[in-house]
Chain A
Amino acid sequence: MSDAQKYWKANIRLVIGCLVVWFVVSFGCGILFAQQLNGIRIGGYQLGFWFAQQGSIYTFVALIFFYAWRMNQLDRKFNVSED
């Protein structure tokens, strides 16, 4: 496999990993399993409600920065960085 193919494969793996987390926190914890999670509380928040209105958004932010950081590493490793 050429370096370009390996770079693209690694990129796809990273994106899929990030999108799994993206799906689990929003659609999973915030919608599909929100009612079950509501049995658990953090302070005045029911957990499902917290994920739907707060937690998923914080996770999205963290995910994008994690993705950007890992991609920069991949760019350098495969020598395709812009500088």
Chain B
Amino acid sequence: MTNLQLWTYAVVGATFCIYIFIAIKARATTTGEFYVAGKGVHPVLNGMATGADWMSAASFISMAGLIAFKGFDASVYLMGWTGGYCLLAMLLAPYLRKYGKFTVPEFIGDRFYSQTARVVAVICLIVASLTYVIGQMKGIGVAFSRFLEIPFETGLFIGMGIVFIYAVLGGMKGVTYTQIAQYVVLIFAYTVPAIFISLQLTGNPIPQLGLGSTMSGSDVYLLDKLDLVLTDLGFAAYTAQKGSTLNMFLLTMSLMIGTAGLPHVITRFFTVPKVRDARSSAGWALVFIAVLYTTAPAVGAMARLNLIDTIQADSIAPDTSQNLKIDNLPAWFTNWEKTGLLKYEDKNGDGRLQYVGAKYGDTTVQNEMTKVDRDIMVLANPEIARLPNWVIALVAAGGIAAALSTAAGLLLAISSAISHDIVKGIIAKDIDDKTELMAGRIAMAGAIVVAGYLGLNPPGFAAQVVALAFGLAASSIFPALMMGIFVKRMNNAGAVCGMLAGLGSTLVYIFMYKGWFFVKSTAMMADTPEGWIMGISPGAFGAVGALINFAVALSVCAVTKAPPEHIQHLVEDIRVPMGAGTAVDH
């Protein structure tokens, strides 16, 4: 076993011991503890747990890679996945906390006095959460197979086993306290390599400042250097806008609204003791998220620069005599090549690699890096920068923590919807607390098995459906919740029609480009910027779907009967903090 593997086993093993220890300490004994951790979580701690809940394998592993290759255009993810917290804090979280029940569909069902509305919400929740979970399972498997060199399946089973222990035993209570530990692990794992690399390149230990600094030993700014190197090599300039402004605008809006509408995030704000805690807790959540989200642009830019530097020793090189030699590749290069995420081809047979973009001036020079998967940027970054082995081991543990914490939050949202909204709410209304708790545990175990199965046999459309998760949350759940609070006259007919119209239009738009039910051959239009109506990508349509939802709901509501008196009182009641249910002691 190599030194790196020893380190990885030690660090990952230690974090697993912590998670299991917490699981045993934080068992749930009532449904209140299982669904909302007894509403006794301190707002700062809830913020931390929300951070881990929210930041998934995609945030940890993929986002910096996206930024590295898209530059300015990737800003939509940075703003979209953080700006949603403003909407959550100001428009939803405090009011839903005041309402004081267990699940998002429950609020929708009660507020719109309609089982149909509740069932539509449950379906949206399950589809959105399940598609999300597949990605987490894949992330766990990749991290295990690459760093511990055990098979993908074994890695996935270990990950499932860990989640099983603390989520089934502890429910929301167990998930909350493990998420807090997982936040600490993942943020440490993300920032330590970033600090090292920022120091190496700019001499400034704070990555957020390093990105705006000059390169060590020169007076050229890092971003200017990157722009220059990229354009010289025939790539688009890093800081320049490439996509259309309308699409960037709508995609950012869709991600923001979708973030605020994702049930597993909203539920986290049901766990704090008071309404005012829900407001501040959203702020704390964003503080903890911002630590990673403001570091990511630095990681992306610096990783891109380091990658080019490693391959193209002399940045502009029709003369390739300084480039990376194929019989002298660094270890990380060959390791990632084995995973198929990195590929090269020595097209001109000179025994060296060259890395150029599509717009390179000399057309006889061909790009020989045939595949550089953006997902490897964060995971390979410490190796590219030749950081010590313990840092690389830490990154593996961080990636696993990010995937596990999000998976647990999603699985909890799914199992609560099944045991509380379907079993207790519709099928068997008179079951007691103990039976419902058991139903919750069984639903959780079932959800883990289904997610594991989908992780092992990912449907071909797995990558496509992430757009679907945000589209669903943005076009159906967010508008329904918002109007339920802010439009007192909103009635059942308006809400249900609005949800179905928003959901339907978004689904149709996505299916038109991705194929009906994701069967590729049935796609009706080319999924390219030229084929998109007005340049709006399928992922950006959620904002339009939300608009349709609002418009339809308000129109239908205007011509149908106002909601009954007790519903209007309910709305007045959730608008004031006074009288919120108190915390259950921990």
Contacts and interface: CB of A to CB of B under 8 A. Distances in A.
Given A44-B223, A45-B212, A54-B297, A81 B82 contact: no
The SS class assigned to the B binding surface is helix
Nearest to A62: B283
A44 B286 contact: no
Contacts of B89: 64, 67-68
B280 A65 contact: yes
A76 B79 CA distance: 33
Interface stretch (B405-413, B549-557, B576-584): B576-584
A43 B279 contact: no
A35 B297 contact: no
A64 B82 CA distance: 11
Interface in A42-65: 42-46, 49-50, 52-54, 56-58, 60-61, 63-65
B137 to A, nearest CB: 29
B72 interface: yes
B95 to A, nearest CB: 10
Nearest to A78: B576
Interface in B270-299: 274-276, 279-280, 282-283, 286-287, 290, 293-294, 297
Interface in B53-83: 67, 72, 75, 78-79, 82-83
B483 interface: no
A61 B252 contact: no
A19 B86 contact: yes
A37 B67 CA distance: 20
B224 interface: yes
Nearest to B210: A44
Given A57-B79, A64-B282, A32 B577 contact: no
B212 A67 contact: no
B239 interface: yes
Contact of B221 (A34, A44, A53): A44
A82 B276 contact: yes
B419 interface: no
Given A52-B75, A57-B82, A61-B287, A45 B223 contact: yes
- In this complex, the member of B72, B222, B297 whose beta carbon has the largest number of chain A beta carbons within 10 angstroms is B72
Contacts of A82: 274-276, 577-580
Interface in B246-287: 248-249, 252-253, 274-276, 279-280, 282-283, 286-287
A55 B205 CA distance: 19
B214 A30 contact: no
Contacts of A58: 290, 294
A27 B91 contact: no
Interface string B222-253: 11100000000000000101000100110011
B252 A15 contact: no
B249 A27 contact: yes
Interface string B91-125: 10010000000000000000000000000000000
11 contacts: A4-B576, A11-B575, A26-B252, A34-B72, A42-B212, A53-B67, A53-B297, A56-B78, A81-B577, A82-B275, A82-B580
Interface of B: 67, 72, 75, 78-79, 82-83, 85-86, 89-91, 94, 208-209, 211-214, 221-224, 239, 241, 245, 248-249, 252-253, 274-276, 279-280, 282-283, 286-287, 290, 293-294, 297, 572, 575-580
Given A80-B576, A81-B577, 14 more contacts: A42-B212, A43-B212, A45-B223, A46-B239, A53-B294, A56-B83, A57-B82, A57-B294, A64-B280, A68-B282, A68-B283, A75-B276, A75-B577, A79-B578
